[in-house]
Structures are given as structure tokens and as C-alpha cells.
Structure 1
Amino acid sequence: MTLRSKLLLMFVCFALIPLLVIGALGYVESLRALESLVASQTSVIAERIAVEVRDRRERVDANIALLAENVETQRMLAAHAAGDSAAERTAVEAARAYSSEVRAAMGGDAEWIEFRDASGRELLRLADTLQAASRDDGVGVMRVTRALPSSAGTVVVGVPIPALLPPELLDARFGRSGYLVVLDRSTGRALHDPEHVDALALAHEARHTPAEESAGSYVARYRDADSTRVATVVALTDPAWTILVAGTVDEFSAPFVRLRATTLTLIVVIGLIAAVGFFLVLWRATASLRTLTAAADEVGQGNFEPGLPAAGDDEVGRLARAFGLMTGRVREMMAQVERGRQMAAVGEFANEIAHEIRNPLTSIKLNLQALERGSRQDQVAAPLVRPLEISLREVQRLDRVVHGVLRLGRDRSVERTTVALHQVVQRAIDVARPQLEQRGIRASATSCSGSDQVLADAAQLEAAVLNLLLNAAEATPAGGVVRVSIDGCDGAEASHVRVRIEDGGAGVAAELRERIFQPFFTTKPGGTGLGLALAQRTAEEHGGSLTLADRSSEITTSERGAVFVLELPLAPDAVLGRSA
């Protein structure tokens, strides 16, 4: 399969098909939005009815409280309790007159009113007709009972259902096929639209969670008569009614079906147009890809600086920039491989030294030391003493070179423990102090206040710091100062700690900076060129680094000393403690 075919397949799979899926999802989301709209409208209607019923019931309760707690009612109850028939008749008539006024003020909210004593005996009844006074079938009239003060009896009011549920509320619905059901839970009878009372059971079964129902209202989605219904159910406490307002989704879904067909058609047309444009762009981009292919061939032949196409803002331009970044990293990796090869050569050379040079060198050194002891006893001619001392000194220097090469070439075992870096630095300063004082040089050390614990081989780390201190001392003139500072352990998010060792010398020339860490490279007479290489190896074995800081932007012209920075990762315990 050609590249263009693969890209076309990718275009279909990752562009056209997702567009179709998006269209389908858009249709589904539109139906969900429609259901949300129906639910919102039914909720508004149901809540409006519920609020109206509650307000009317509160008004009825206020009037009943007025009937129960007025002075005339209290006198009637007191006379009845005293057993004074004449006073009771007078009080009953007064209570009848007052209650009639209240009933008239209530309008149609009270079809009949009766007062009963604590034993249930009727004391007073108000009604337009005897039939109205006895009407108590639970359908047209709802009994509302309220206790009289001091539990002396009760007042019972027959409240007509239309007083709480007027006809204008019953006409509220959403859509032509929507309906409203009102159920009296205390009697199980439908107060409105009994034909759809089964919808309450369907809504109850389809409710989302029982917690929604316990909250007093919930929205349910169910199937009723081959249509999808969305209903809002509100359960009133007083009166114990349930109000269901339902609307149908199918009544309003036709425009969304047409929108789905239109959307899918547009997606297909736009996809075809995009495919043609995609091929045109692909054809033009192929030229840049060919250039990148040629550049890759050059890299394969060893040229890590090939010619690349102009890096524009499109995908090919980003690819060209990424390719250039990759070749740069390959150059760095090749440099690391070369350094590794050099170290391997040093290791092999060290093995040869161990067998071919070190043993004869040891014999020569022992013989020269014997001659030196003889010279102290005048057993060697005076003209030969000076050449003997020079020969012994050079042999000792050669022995140091051999020893350094062996250390650099061998695989060292690292026994890591958690150590405080400032303690390692202080021990190295203590060891180097005699040589510093001999040169008239002072060491100044500062440390940070946070934890500077690292996971390291203390002996190897101390040797690396000691080597840096001695190098700094050799570069610092008499009367100068070698400054040692530890930083990086105070920040809450830092993960590395740094040791900065600054000498008071003339610094390192720019042309020597790249070579200063190479084995056997030295600028000091009698130097081995292995100290910095060993120190850098120690830092890398501990997961850190040893670098020569660039001070061109941070120091004045009078401060030209070299600054070596030993950076090491903090121990995990120190990092966790700092985060906490």
C-alpha cells in the first residue's frame, strides 16, 4: 500500500468516520436536549400547580385556625363544659353567627363546618343544605380536622376539591398529547384525569433513584401508548396529593430527525471536499518529504548536519524541526559513545600497565629508595645525589600516573548509604587544610539550612571533593581564598543539591573548557590529567554531574576564578520530607 493510500485510509478512519459519529452523537444529544426541555416545561407546570395548591391549603388552614381560636368558640366550649344549658345555647348562637361570617369570608373554601367536643359529640354545624352537611364521600369534598385549644374538641371543615384545585389549573399541560394527573394518596382516588392514572405507576418504576422521590419531586422517562413520555412528579405533604405532568418526546422529535438527515448529508459532502483538498496538500507536501528522506540517507552515511527543508508552520515543517533536533541528539550520543570508547581504551591500557609497567616500576622505585638511604650515609658520591633525587621524584610521579590510570579503568563497586553532603565536604576540607595552609590559602565553607542528604559512597564522594579542593588550591595564589558552598536544599520542590568550589585563580581559558575533563589532559606541570576525569566519573556513577560553570554573565572582571559545580540527586527520604 502506497503512502497516499495509507494517508487516505487514515483520513477516512480518523476524519470522515469520526464526523459521522459526531453527527450521530449530535442527534442523540439533540434528543436528550429535547427530553430536558420537556422535563423542564413539565417541571414548571407541576411546580406551579403545587405552589398554588399549597397556597390555597395554607389559606384554608388560616381560616380554620380563625374558627378554632376565636372568643365565641372558646365561650361555647366553656359553657358546654360547665353544663349550663342556657348559657350554652346563647354561646352556640353567638358562635354560629361568628362562624357564619368566617364561612362567608372563606367563599367557596368551606362547604360545611362542624364543631365537636372531646367525646366527638356535635356542638354546632353550618351548611347550606342538609345534603351538603352530610356530603363526605372523599371525592368532591375533603375533610380537614383541627384540634380546638386545650384539646377541648375539634373543628371539621368540608373543603371542596375545586377550592384547592380550580379548573384553570387543570387545563395546564405541555403539548397536544400531554396530560395532568392528580391522585389523592390518602384514598387512592384520581382527582383529575383517571384515564391516565396508570402513568403514576409507570413513572414510579422508571424513577432514577428512590432518593429523588423522597425529595418530594422527580423526573421520570417511560413508555406509554407507544410513545416516549417525560413526566415530572410532585408529591405534596398536605394535602397528601401526587401531581404528575407528562409530555411526549415524539410530538416534537420530527424536526430533529430532519436535522439529523441534513447533518449527515452535509458531513458526507464536506468530507469529500476535504478529501480532494487533502490530496492536493499531500501532493505538495511530498516534495518536502523527499527532502527529509534524502536527509535521512545522509545521516545514515555519517553526515549529522544534512540539508533540511524550510521549517514552516505546517506538519512537515514541524517534522523538519523534529528531525533537526533528532540529529543534534544523535551527535551528542555519538560524542558520548566516543567518550565511552576512550574510557574502554583507558581500561584496556590500564590492564596492560598493571602487568607490563607497574611491577618493573615498583622495583625501580625500591632500588632508588635504597640508593637514597645510602646517600644519607655518604655511601653515594656527592655528584650523584641530585640526579638520584630527580630520578626518584619522577618515578614517584610516574607511579601516581599509573595508579590514576588503574582507578580510571577499573569497574568500581559503589556502596551507597544516606550521608549528609555538608559532612562529606567538611571532611574533605579537613584533609586538605594542611596543604592549603602550607600554600597560605584559606578555605571558606557555607551550607544551606535544609536537608542535604544524598545516597552515595561517602569515601568516593569525599575523594572527588578533595580532588576539586586541591585543584582549586593549586590555582589560587598565596593569601587567596577557596570558597565552598552548598545550595539547592532550601527549596520545597528541588530534587538536587549542588556543591560549588570556587578558586581565586585566573580561571579556565575558553579554548580549554571542552577538554578539561578528558583523561590525561592537564595544564599543570607534573599533573596527571586524571583527577577531574575521576571526579566526573564519580559524579555520574552517583546519578549526578560535574561541570565547569560559565561565569561570564555573573561575575566582574576582577573575579575570574574557575567554579566547578558538583550536582547530586537528593536522597528519596530528603525529597519526601521536603514535600511534606
Structure 2
Amino acid sequence: MSLRAKFLVLFAVFAVVPLVAIGIFDYVYSMRALETLIATQVEEIATRSAEQIDQNFALRESELLLLSENAETQRLYQALANDDPRAWELALGSADAYLRQAWDVLSPFYSWIEFRDVHGATVYRLPPEADPGSADLRGGASFRTNVMAVVRPIHNETHGGEVGSLSAAIDLEELVPYEELAARFGETGYSTVVDRSRNMVVYHPSHAYRDQNVGALLGPDGWDIDYQVLEEERGTLVYRESDTTRVAAFVSLAEPPWTIFAAGS
């Protein structure tokens, strides 16, 4: 090997290779720094959205608690338990007047509300002409025409025993925080909400995904991520979508059983 060739080899070993290595290191470091920056920003968006959903749902819960614990409702269920037709007639008249007034205030937030006995039979319904259908909603939640139906027990204030249940169809428009979800990091950033109990997409900026199975969004034809992330309380992930690498943060709520994703790139 000539002296010139040896010099070129030594130059490559001691100059070019280290420079390439440094370049690769800087690139990897820059990408990780960028991912960290995006993760921090989208985490704030996901957290704010989750907090607003939590507040909205807590307000609905307090309203349902008021409907089940007020004196008129308690007298209605007491008359039902005593099997006294006269007492039932009087209690129903009093409860009807009170609950109709309550419905005037609550109707923008609910599709319907049902009071049921311990066997699940309807005792009273708001609005009176509503017919939620025959689907059994006890013990869980289901989506029906853009509402979330929840069931809460009604307890006797004296002995604490369960005397019936309160079923209500909450309007999703009153739970989804559209303003918070509209916030984004980057030109193509967006947020989405999925319901874990129903495996459905509650909110996505593309209407084509709304009310669809979660698999359409998270499966192989979508983000192609591990569904187990839905079991975690919060975290971040990286995925590919339309030839774009995105960083997303997510927050999961216990009630409602929703997970909020905020993604940026």
C-alpha cells in the first residue's frame, strides 16, 4: 500500500468516521429532544381536556344525585315500598311537580331520565313522553344516538338500602370539551377521545372515525399501536400515520371510562 493510500485510510479512520459518528449522535439527540418537546406540549393538551371532561361528568353526577336524594323522590319510593295506592298517588303528584321543574333546567343536558324500581321496571320518566326503548341498561353504560346512558342506585335515606335505580342518557355534546380538544401542537396535531367500555371513538376531528370501533383508529390500518396503552392511566407513545411520525400523550379517566389522546408532529 502506498504512502498516499495509507494516509487516506488513516484520515478516514481518525477524521471521517468520528465526524460521521458525531453527526449520527447529534441527529438522534435532536430527534429525541424534539420528541420530548412535542410530548410535553401534547401532554398539556390531553391533561386539560381530561380535566374538563372530569368536571363536566362530575356536574352531571351531582345532578343525578340531587334527583335521587330529594324529599319528593324519597317519598315516592317509600310509597312504592309500602304498596299504599293512596300514598303513592299523593307522592307521585308531588314528585311529578318537582321533577318537571327540574327537567326544565336539566333537559339541555339529557335525552331522558328514568326512575326504576329494584326489579328494573320504570316508575317515572322524564320527559313523560320519552321512550328510551327496551334495552337493559342496568349495571353499565351504552351509547344510543349520541348519548351515554348511565345507571346509578337510589338509596333510602333512612336505612340506606337500595330501593331502585336512576337511569339517564347524558348528551355527549355536554361532556366532550370541544374547545380544549381543538387546541393542537403543530399544523397537523389533533386530539381524539375513545370510550374503553364500548371500544368506540367518541371524538375525532375527522367525522369518519366518530362512533366507529376503536380498531379503526388504533389497529393495523390506523396507528397500529398496542391496545394495552388503554389500560394505563397516562403516558406517551410514538406512531406512524400517513408517512408522518407523530408523538402522542394520553390520559385515561375512570368515569367516564374514556382515554384522551393528543398528538403532534
TM over 0.5: yes
Change (3 A) 1:215 1:167: closer
Residue in 2 that maps onto 1:153:
164
C-alpha root-mean-square deviation of aligned residues, in Å?
A: 3.1
What do the CA deviations read for 1:52-93 (whole angstroms, capped 9, x no partner)? 111111111111111111211110011112222232122122
Matches within 5 A, 1:221-370: 221-248=238-265
Matches within 5 A, 1:155-194: 155-193=166-204
Change (3 A) 1:128 1:33: farther
What do the CA deviations read for 1:500-523 (whole angstroms, capped 9, x no partner)? xxxxxxxxxxxxxxxxxxxxxxxx
Change (3 A) 1:45 1:226: same
Q: Equivalent of 1:205, from 207, 225, 237? A: 225
Q: 2:172 corresponds to which letter in structure 1?
A: I
Give the superposition deviation at 1:172. Answer: 2.9
Residue in 2 that maps onto 1:138:
144
Change (3 A) 1:103 1:169: farther
What do the CA deviations read for 1:16-43 (whole angstroms, capped 9, x no partner)? 6434422332122111111222222221
Q: Secondary structure at the match of 2:238?
A: strand
Contact between 2:194 and 2:259, CA under 8 Å: does it hold in 1? Answer: yes
Q: Give 1 or 2: higher strand fraction.
A: 2
Q: 2:144 corresponds to which letter in structure 1?
A: G
Q: 2:54 corresponds to which letter in structure 1?
A: R
Q: Secondary structure at the match of 2:120?
A: coil
What do the CA deviations read for 1:489-509 (whole angstroms, capped 9, x no partner)? xxxxxxxxxxxxxxxxxxxxx
Change (3 A) 1:215 1:204: farther
Structure 1 ranges of 4+ moved more than 6 A:
5-12
Q: Take 1:214 and 1:191, find their aligned partners in 2: how far apart are those partners?
A: 17
Give the superposition deviation at 1:6. Answer: 9.4
Residue in 2 that maps onto 1:23:
23
Contact between 2:112 and 2:125, CA under 8 Å: does it hold in 1? Answer: yes
Q: Secondary structure at the match of 1:245?
A: strand
Residue in 1 that maps onto 2:158:
none
Q: Take 2:127 and 2:252, find their aligned partners in 1: how far apart are those partners?
A: 32
Q: Secondary structure at the match of 1:51?
A: helix
Change (3 A) 1:204 1:240: farther
Give the superposition deviation at 1:146. Answer: 0.9
Change (3 A) 1:113 1:213: closer
Change (3 A) 1:96 1:77: same
Q: 1:138 corresponds to which letter in structure 2?
A: R
Residue in 2 that maps onto 1:117:
117
Q: 2:173 corresponds to which letter in structure 1?
A: P
Q: 2:247 corresponds to which letter in structure 1?
A: V
Consecutive unaligned residues of structure 2, counting only runs of 5 or more, are 136-142, 156-160
Task: Kindly indicate whether residue 55 of structure 2 is the aligned counterpart of residue 49 of structure 1.
Answer: no
Q: 2:261 corresponds to which letter in structure 1?
A: L
Contact between 1:39 and 1:219, CA under 8 Å: does it hold in 2? Answer: yes
Change (3 A) 1:42 1:83: same
Aligned residues: 241
Residue in 1 that maps onto 2:138:
none
Q: 1:240 corresponds to which letter in structure 2?
A: P
Q: Take 2:84 and 2:103, find their aligned partners in 1: how far apart are those partners?
A: 27
Consecutive unaligned residues of structure 1, counting only runs of 5 or more, are 249-580
Contact between 1:138 and 1:187, CA under 8 Å: does it hold in 2? Answer: no
Q: Take 2:15 and 2:119, find their aligned partners in 1: how far apart are those partners?
A: 83
Contact between 2:149 and 2:167, CA under 8 Å: does it hold in 1? Answer: yes
Contact between 1:139 and 1:161, CA under 8 Å: does it hold in 2? Answer: no
For normalisation by structure 2, the TM-score amounts to 0.77
Q: Secondary structure at the match of 2:115?
A: strand
Contact between 1:139 and 1:191, CA under 8 Å: does it hold in 2? Answer: no
Q: Take 1:222 and 1:139, find their aligned partners in 2: how far apart are those partners?
A: 32
Change (3 A) 1:17 1:153: same
Q: Take 1:30 and 1:195, find their aligned partners in 2: how far apart are those partners?
A: 35
Task: Kindly indicate whether residue 96 of structure 2 is the aligned counterpart of residue 96 of structure 1.
Answer: yes
Q: Take 1:78 and 1:7, find their aligned partners in 2: how far apart are those partners?
A: 100
Which piece of structure 1 moves more, 192-201 or 89-98? Answer: 192-201
Q: 1:143 corresponds to which letter in structure 2?
A: A
Give the superposition deviation at 1:160. Answer: 0.5
- Please tell me whether Structure 1 or Structure 2 has the larger radius of gyration of its CA atoms: 1
What do the CA deviations read for 1:536-563 (whole angstroms, capped 9, x no partner)? xxxxxxxxxxxxxxxxxxxxxxxxxxxx
Contact between 1:206 and 1:222, CA under 8 Å: does it hold in 2? Answer: no
Q: Take 2:226 and 2:118, find their aligned partners in 1: how far apart are those partners?
A: 46
Q: Take 2:12 and 2:6, find their aligned partners in 1: how far apart are those partners?
A: 10
Contact between 2:109 and 2:174, CA under 8 Å: does it hold in 1? Answer: yes
Contact between 1:96 and 1:126, CA under 8 Å: does it hold in 2? Answer: no
Task: Kindly indicate whether residue 127 of structure 2 is the aligned counterpart of residue 127 of structure 1.
Answer: yes
Give the superposition deviation at 1:161. Answer: 0.6
Q: Give 1 or 2: higher helix fraction.
A: 1
Contact between 1:41 and 1:174, CA under 8 Å: does it hold in 2? Answer: yes
Contact between 1:232 and 1:246, CA under 8 Å: does it hold in 2? Answer: yes
Change (3 A) 1:179 1:236: same
Contact between 2:251 and 2:261, CA under 8 Å: does it hold in 1? Answer: yes
Give the superposition deviation at 1:45. Answer: 1.3
Contact between 1:204 and 1:220, CA under 8 Å: does it hold in 2? Answer: no
Q: Take 1:213 and 1:185, find their aligned partners in 2: how far apart are those partners?
A: 7
Q: Secondary structure at the match of 2:261?
A: strand
Q: Take 1:225 and 1:80, find their aligned partners in 2: how far apart are those partners?
A: 60
Q: Secondary structure at the match of 1:152?
A: strand
